[in-house]
């Protein structure tokens, strides 16, 4: 009985986790991060204002209940979740020094960040496909992308994110942490938490690579193919003015896509292969990855979309 009791005690200790984690903010810039928080706060306020405005206008205007605007509403909602999952807590760390976050709260933040990053990638891919069908098959656009198809695509993208990211939380909950609780990051990111574990993390690392290639790899391929086909059609236009307008629109959309994927890939690769990159550079890029796209998307997609901008000005 004593042996059994001792074994159970050892087993519970091995799979224990700290009651809370301590987020330190930006490693190496702890003194400066009080002032760094101000531009982040302004960017967050612009992101919330822009995306809430888009959602309100698209919901209020029946004429905007079309595939392009419905995808834009999905993107706005995703951006609100992504930025709100991280920025309020991050500003608390920078301004108030409140870096403590409960273990389950950390897993919840991690879940929302990675799930909705996957959703954002999927929505950008769906928007690229929408533009491809609208430009390359204009007569069949409404029949191919009906409202029901758009809702189904949005639901599939969300389900994909939930199913792929949920195992992160289950795997981390079973990991031994040996009372390591200081996270060298501004928010609970999967690999930042995995690095605190004192057990075998190969499953976490391999599964993380699998999810990244499944989401970013497949979506980037489809986006690249879509815009390549779009540019081929644009090049055949006889009017120079029409070509320049199409190029301008494509360039602005591609810039938003790059603003999302380039920092995402940089953050993902730095965790695994970028030991020589200063920690503060890595963390700053990881923060910008979650705040710059939510701020830019309403500007690029909203201001440059005439029908939508006219409704915003009218309201």
Tell me, yes or no, whether 3 lies in a domain. no
Q: What is the chain's mean pLDDT, rounded?
A: 84
| pLDDT value of position 231 | 84
Answer yes or no: is 169 within a domain. Answer: yes
Tens-place pLDDT, residues 88-108: 999 999 998 888 999 999 999
| pLDDT band, very low/low/confident/very high, at 2 (cuts 50, 70, 90) | very low
pLDDT in tens, 142-188: 888 888 899 999 999 999 999 999 999 998 888 888 777 888 889 99
Rounded CA gap, 288 and 185, in Å?
Answer: 13
pLDDT of residue 311: 67
Mean predicted confidence (pLDDT) in 193-218: 87
Residue percentage of the chain with pLDDT more than 70: 89
C-beta of residue 262 within 8 angstroms of C-beta of residue 124: no
Which CATH number do you get for residue 178?
Answer: 1.20.1070.10
Structural domain containing residue 245: 20-313
pLDDT attached to residue 3:
42
What's the pLDDT tens digit per position in 20-34? 899 998 888 888 889
> Among 11-25, 29-43, 189-203, 217-231, whose mean pLDDT is lowest?
11-25
Q: Please state, in angstroms and as integers, the Cα–Cα distance from residue 129 to each residue in 50, 71, 225, following that order.
A: 24, 11, 9
In a domain, 13, yes or no: no
Q: Above pLDDT 90, what percent of the chain?
A: 30
Query: Per the domain annotation, does 219 fall within a domain?
Result: yes
Residues 6 or more apart whose Cβ sits within 8 Å of residue 230:
131, 132, 135, 136, 246, 250
In a domain, 1, yes or no: no
The CA distance from 207 to 271, in Å, is 14
How many domains, in total, are found in the chain? 1
CA 75 to chain centre: 10
What pTM value is reported for the model? 0.87
10 found inside a domain: no
Which residues fall within 8 angstroms of residue 50, CB to CB, at 6 or more apart? 76, 295, 297, 298, 299, 302
What strands lie across the sheet with 20-23, from one edge to the other? 100-102, 20-23, 182-183
pLDDT band at 308 (very low <50, low <70, confident <90, very high): low
User: End-to-end CA distance of the chain, in Å?
Assistant: 74
For residue 290, is it within any domain? yes
**Confidence label for 13 from pLDDT (cuts 50, 70 and 90):** very low
Query: Would you say residue 11 lies in a domain?
Result: no
């Amino acid at each position: 009985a004593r042996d059994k009791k001792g074994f159970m005690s050892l087993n519970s200790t091995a799979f224990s986790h700290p009651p809370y984690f301590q987020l330190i903010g930006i490693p190496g810039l702890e003194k400066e991060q009080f002032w760094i928080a101000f531009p982040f706060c302004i960017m967050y306020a612009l992101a919330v204002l822009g995306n809430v405005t888009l959602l309100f206008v698209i919901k209020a205007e029946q004429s905007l209940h079309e595939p392009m605007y419905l995808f834009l509403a999905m993107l706005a909602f995703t951006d609100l979740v992504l930025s709100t999952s991280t920025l309020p807590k991050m500003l608390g760390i920078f301004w108030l020094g409140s870096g403590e976050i409960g273990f389950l709260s950390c897993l919840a933040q991690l879940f929302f960040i990675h799930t909705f990053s996957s959703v954002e990638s999927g929505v950008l891919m769906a928007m690229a496909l929408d533009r491809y069908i609208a430009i390359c098959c204009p007569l069949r656009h409404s029949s191919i992308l009906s409202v029901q198809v758009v809702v189904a695509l949005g639901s599939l993208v969300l389900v994909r994110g939930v199913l792929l990211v949920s195992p992160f939380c289950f795997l981390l909950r079973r990991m031994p942490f040996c009372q390591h609780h200081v996270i060298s990051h501004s928010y609970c990111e999967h690999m930042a938490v995995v690095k605190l574990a004192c057990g075998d993390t190969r499953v976490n690392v391999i599964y993380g690579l699998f999810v990244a290639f499944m989401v970013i790899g497949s979506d980037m391929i489809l986006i690249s193919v879509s815009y390549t086909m779009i540019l081929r059609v644009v090049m055949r236009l006889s009017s120079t003015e029409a070509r320049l307008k199409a190029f301008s629109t494509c360039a602005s959309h591609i810039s938003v896509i790059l603003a999302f994927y380039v920092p995402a890939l940089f953050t993902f690769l730095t965790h695994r292969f970028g030991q020589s990159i200063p920690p503060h550079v890595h963390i700053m890029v990881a923060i910008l990855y979650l705040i710059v796209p939510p701020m830019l998307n309403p500007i690029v997609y909203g201001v440059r979309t005439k029908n939508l901008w006219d409704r915003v000005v009218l309201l």
